[in-house]
Chains A and B, each alone.
Chain A
């Protein structure tokens, strides 16, 4: 059965979707991804959808699910490389993907993830400081 490869890059997981997703594939990806997050204790998930030309409401929900699941497992999700037409379609469908971070390309996405994670660490430090004071 087809699978979408999930690559580990340090603290992050990188998923590049090079084919048009069908429902079964997306569901497999969802479960694979949470398994991987747990396995590697990843801090961030980067999903590249630059090659995806169709996203329907189901796919939108799967992306939302992945984001929420990762969030409760303490990993940030960034979706990168959405095509303009896809963005417009999603908005017209009434799915603005609230709660998902987006970036223009993989490079920007990585930057965003790093900044989010350093922010978290800083926040933790702040808490530590307040505790000691």
Chain B
């Protein structure tokens, strides 16, 4: 039995492409800011061509057939590139689903017998649904890759150790402190203490969103390690919420010098190394 739909798809390739593209243009999902019409057209044409080429009577009902590997590759490529360019899931889904609409429309125009039309439509439906699932899976995978890369980047942004004065180091900590991060922070800080011969380190935690017992323990560890290096450690940037949490959790920070702002920590540090900051004496007469 020669399959009606396959024949139509192969014959009406051009028409389906036009229909599909028309659908895409009408769709809200078309993002001219993210992909040009030209690119999208080329992409669609390639997909249609390989779809028409690989589809046959034998594999029509079997979406797992090896003949569709090429289409799967193209779809995966499209999905991943869309995930990276920042398309929404809806827009990506609409891309494949609008092809289904175009195919169904063409079929309904070509096949006159309602029973045949119905069966063929169902088969097209299930095939295209599988394609859109593949698209979706790869889209999510692409997104996950993006997230993973960003996570790596965040970890790579090593906490900088800033020399604010001769003998005073500042260490602004942004983001949550976990064990691996504390380790990096500690190593950087201690290394810098050795290199600059600093005697005071200011740990600024204004950028730490929340503090729990574990984070506090990490902080205390860093302070102890700094002391072992012969430097004094001041923790600054303690926000009211953090102060509340620390007390409610019963964390003992009494061994550590704590200051509310980096400015007051710096002032304390100046005091500790016996420096004073004065306003310049001006000769201006009032």
A interface residues, Cβ below 8 angstroms from B: 79-80, 82-84, 86-88, 90-92, 96-97, 101-105, 108-109, 112
Are B199 and A88 interface neighbours, CB within 8 A? no
The contact of A104 among B191, B194, B222, B224, by CB within 8 Å, is B194
Binding site for A on B (CB under 8 A): 183, 186-187, 190-191, 193-194, 197, 199, 221-222, 224-231
A104/B230 in contact, CB under 8 A? yes
Smallest CB gap from A108: residue in B: B230
In the assembled complex, which residues on chain A have CB atoms less than 8 Å from the CB atom of B194?
Answer: 83-84, 104
Given A91-B224, A102-B228, residue A108 in contact with residue B190 (CB < 8 A):
no
Nearest Cβ distance between residue B224 and chain A, in whole angstroms?
A: 4
Contacts of B230 in A (CB 8 A): 80, 82, 101-105, 108-109, 112
- Choose among B190, B197, B231 the residue with the greatest number of A CB atoms under 10 Å from its CB: B190
Please indicate the chain A residues that have their CB under 8 angstroms from the CB of B227 in the complex.
96, 102
CB of A20, distance to nearest CB on chain B (Å):
18
Asked whether A84 lies within 8 Å of B191 as measured between CB atoms, the reply is yes
Residue numbers in A under 8 Å from B193 (CB-CB): 84, 104
Contacts of A84 in B (CB 8 A): 187, 190-191, 193-194, 225, 229
A86 to B227, CA, bound (A): 12
Q: How far is the CA of A117 from the CA of B193 in the complex (A)?
A: 25
Q: Which residues of B sit under 8 angstroms from A102, Cβ to Cβ?
A: 227-230
Known contacts A103-B230, A109-B230; A88 and B183 CB within 8 A of each other: yes
Q: What's the minimum C-beta distance from B20 to chain A, rounded to whole angstroms?
A: 61
Question: Bound complex: CA of A50 vs CA of B193, how far in Å?
Answer: 14
Most chain B beta-carbon contacts within 10 A, residue among A79, A80, A90, A104: A104
Per the bound structure, the CA–CA distance linking A80 and B183 in Å amounts to: 22
- Neighbouring B residues of A103 by C-beta, 8 Å: 230
The answer to whether B187 and A88 touch across the interface, beta carbons within 8 angstroms, is yes
- Beyond A102-B229, A103-B230, whether A87 also contacts B197 by CB under 8 A is no
| Contact among A80, A86, A108 for B199, CB-based, below 8 A | A108
Contacts of A91 in B (CB 8 A): 186, 221-222, 224-225, 228
Instruction: Give which listed residue, B191, B199, B228, contacts A96 with CB less than 8 A.
Output: B228
Determine the chain B residues whose CB is within 8 A of the CB of A101 once the complex forms: 230
Residue of A nearest to B198 (CB): A104
9 A-B pairs with C-beta separation under 8 A: A82-B228, A84-B229, A88-B183, A88-B186, A90-B228, A91-B225, A96-B224, A102-B229, A112-B230
Q: How far is the CB of A115 from chain B (nearest CB, A)?
A: 11
User: A105 touching B225 by the CB < 8 A rule?
Assistant: no
Beyond contacts A84-B190, A91-B222, A104-B231: 13 other A-B pairs, Cβ-Cβ < 8 A, are A82-B228, A82-B230, A84-B225, A84-B229, A88-B190, A88-B225, A90-B225, A90-B228, A96-B225, A102-B229, A104-B199, A104-B229, A105-B197
CB distance from B280 to the nearest CB of A (A): 31
Residues of B within 8 A of A90 (CB): 225, 228
Find chain B residues with CB under 8 A from A112 CB. 230
CB neighbours of B221 from chain A (8 A): 91-92
Bound CA–CA A111/B165 (angstroms): 20
Residues of A within 8 A of B226 (CB): 87
Report the separation of the CA atoms of residues A97 and B230 in the bound assembly, to the nearest whole angstrom: 12
A90 — nearest CB in chain B belongs to which residue? Answer: B228
From A111, which residue of chain B is reached at the shortest CB distance?
B199
The CA of A108 and the CA of B232, in the complex, are separated in Å by 13
* Separation of A84 and B230 alpha carbons in the complex (Å): 11
Closest 6 CB pairs of A and B: A84-B190, A96-B224, A103-B230, A87-B228, A102-B230, A104-B230
